[in-house]
Amino acid sequence: MIDVHCHLNFKSFIDDYDDVIREAIEAGITHIINVGTKIESSKKAIDLALKYDNLYAIVGIHPHHADKLELETNWLEQLNDLATKPKVIAIGEIGLDYFPYKSNGIVDKILQKEVFEKQIEIAFKYRLPLQIHNRHASNDILEILNYYKTSLQPIPGMFHCFSGNKDFLTKVLDLGFYIGFDGNITYDGIAPGETTMLSDLVKNAPLDRILLETDSPYLSPEPHRGSRNKPCYAILIAEFIAKLKGISLEMVKNQTIKNTHILFNLK
């Protein structure tokens, strides 16, 4: 199995990432992809990838940080540089987030769009796939992707922690995107502001477009909900997908590995 989106580069793993990586490898995780959310965490993702054979990095600015970029001098220049480093396999997590968070509300939408678009252009420049973060912003993301449609690569990227409705799913599949599912597919009910059960989206997504991801340290699958998530729990997500689709765990494991290699051109 491969965890295509986690954050061992974040503070919550600072004391024990070696152990967490070892545990994941013992549990059958063959590759771990750490994702940056700003310049600093993107650099850390690269540092980790250089330390371990089976780790890779995705670099980018999360929409939450779109209004804090004045703190990062020359962020565009820096991100351009990071995109060319060895073991960097995509630009992410980038996108739009319109969920009203208690801590920082909604970051200015115009700023979010600007930062997203500039990073899409970096991905085009280096022919890297996109790893997209979308929360309650499906329409605006589609509008931006359609604007860039003729420049998108044949396999343009993936949606991380997929949510939305079936119509949105159909549209992003039509554009060629892959779909990442996380531990929240094991949660009961529909998340606030959403209209469709994640399990329905899993059932509707073709297996040859699905990727496994944990978003560690967040979104632990049941029965670990509420505690720190880790890449070895990808197995629980794979089991849940197998059950929802009525297929074997082996099929989910094999196909998601194949999908990851195709999307990220992994060796």
Amino acid at 67: D
Residue 62 Cβ, how far from Ni ion at the closest point, in Å? Answer: 7
Residue 154 Cβ, how far from Ni ion at the closest point, in Å? Answer: 25
Are 245 and 201 a contacting pair, CB within 8 Å?
A: no
What is the C-alpha R_g of the chain?
Answer: 17
What residues does 197 pair with on adjacent strands? Answer: none
Q: Which stretch binds Ni ion (CB under 5 A): 45-53, 109-117, 180-188, 212-220?
A: 212-220
Q: Which stretch binds Ni ion (CB under 5 A): 111-119, 147-155, 163-171, 208-216?
A: 208-216
Residue 7 Cβ, how far from Ni ion at the closest point, in Å? Answer: 6
Residue 80 to residue 257: CA distance in whole angstroms: 28
With CB under 5 A, what is the number of residues at the site for Ni ion? Answer: 1
182 binds Ni ion (CB under 5 A): no
Residue nearest to Ni ion (CB): 215
Residue 92 Cβ, how far from Ni ion at the closest point, in Å? Answer: 8
Task: Indicate the residue among 33 and 236 with the shorter CB distance to Ni ion.
Answer: 33
Residue 129 Cβ, how far from Ni ion at the closest point, in Å? Answer: 16
Instruction: Give the number of residues written for the chain.
Output: 267
Contact pick of 212, 215, 231, 255 for Ni ion (by CB under 5 A): 215
DSSP string of 194-260? Answer: --S-HHHHHHHS-GGGEEE---TTS-PPTTSTTSPP-GGGHHHHHHHHHHHHT--HHHHHHHHHHHH
Judged by the rule CB under 5 A, the positions of this chain that interact with Ni ion are 215
